[in-house]
Amino acid sequence: MSSSAKDIAEIKVCRQLASRYSGDALAEMFGAAKPNYEASELIVSSLRSLVAKRSVDISLIQFLDGHRNSNLEDVIREADLLTILLKTGSSYRTSQDLLAVDLLVQNHGEAALASKLWPAYLERETNQVASRLLRAQFWRWTHFEYTQIFKLLGLGGDIDKVLTHPNLIIFNYYMHVLMMENRIERYSPINSFIDVFGEVPTARMLEAAKKSESVINYQVGLFKKWQTQSLKDIKARFAGDPARIDKDLFERYEAYLNSQTAKPQ
């Protein structure tokens, strides 16, 4: 059995034990058990070792199972959660952090967990626990395509609401972390919109949106992509389903091109 398969099997046993017995009951069962038969002694001995080895995991499972129906924000702020995670003696992402995120996602969902971890991450009082769990959740996400994460966070629905969706900042931060960790070479936020919604709907959405700093940055990102193509080819992609806003869009794009030409070399 591989190390990872063994870990998964052990965690499953821990979850079964933790959901049925308290910590004291487990200690009493396996700390003082004196089986009469060799086979049962071997089983109890193995379980005793497992309970001792996975004591932090068991405490974590018991804590989160006990808060299954609690408000997620309250769970993250619980001092006991950080106390359990700190028992590992490590401040970096641990198997316990990953286990906690797995359980929280099962109980509350991927998007809900991320949306509560982000504000907790920004607060000094809850940053320590939230940063550990956020890193663990980001690690989970590396097993998916980034467009899947975009949709998991609820960003793939109504294109007209994506710019104001509170989870957009979380997604962009996640992609920034991937760049900082050299997991991806380069990331332009506009690519996620185009890959999920398509180029034409994205361009029209940005033109129709109120011109905040972030919207302008997204639109400039689009225009930079267009700079490598002919204007005729770009306009041809819009011709199949023309819209009134296209005139304003291309006037803005041509003004952008002129501003780039006017810049001193």
CB 17 within 8 A of CB 61: no
- Contact present, 82 and 130 (Cβ < 8 Å): no
pLDDT at 39 over 60: no
Structural domain count of the chain = 2
pLDDT digits (tens, 9 = 90+) for 196-215: 999 999 999 999 998 899 99
- Do residues 37 and 85 share a domain? no
- Tokens 């304003």 locate to 248
Asked if residue 51 lies in contact with residue 26, where contact means CB atoms within 8 angstroms, the answer is yes
In a domain, residue 165? The reply is: no
pLDDT exceeds 50 at position 189: yes
Cβ atoms 120, 73 nearer than 8 A: yes
- Taking a C-beta distance cutoff of 8 angstroms, is the pair 30, 48 a contact? yes
Give yes or no: residues 78 and 126 share one domain. yes
- pLDDT band at 109, cuts 50/70/90? very high
- The tokens 């971890």 sit on which residue? 117
Picking from 141, 173, 204, the residue at the C-terminal end of a domain is 141
Is the whole-model pTM more than 0.85? Answer: no
For residues 1 and 45, membership in a common domain is answered with: yes
Q: CB–CB of 88/100 below 8 Å? A: no
Q: 3-class DSSP state for residue 128?
A: helix
Whether residue 72 sits in one domain with residue 128: yes
Among residues 260, 90, 114, 223, the alpha carbon closest in space to that of 173 is found at 114
Can you tell me the distance from the alpha carbon of 136 to that of 92, in angstroms, rounded to the nearest whole number? 9
Same domain, 73 and 30: no
Cβ distance 171 to 141 under 8 Å?
Answer: no
Examine residue 81 and state whether it is found in any structural domain, yes or no: yes
85 and 136, same domain (yes or no): yes
Q: What is the mean pLDDT of residues 47-57?
A: 73
Q: Each residue of 132-170: pLDDT tens digit?
A: 999 999 999 999 999 999 999 999 989 999 999 999 999
Structural domain of residue 125, as residue ranges? 68-141
Residues 88 and 114 in one domain: yes
Domain shared by 31 and 82, yes or no: no
Pair 75, 32 in one domain: no
Do 72 and 49 have their domain in common?
Answer: no
pLDDT, tens digit, 9 for 90 and up, residues 65-101: 888 888 888 888 888 888 888 876 666 667 888 888 9
- Same-domain status, 23 and 79: no
**Is residue 105 pLDDT above 80, yes or no?**
yes
Across the chain, mean pLDDT equals: 84
Same domain, 73 and 122: yes
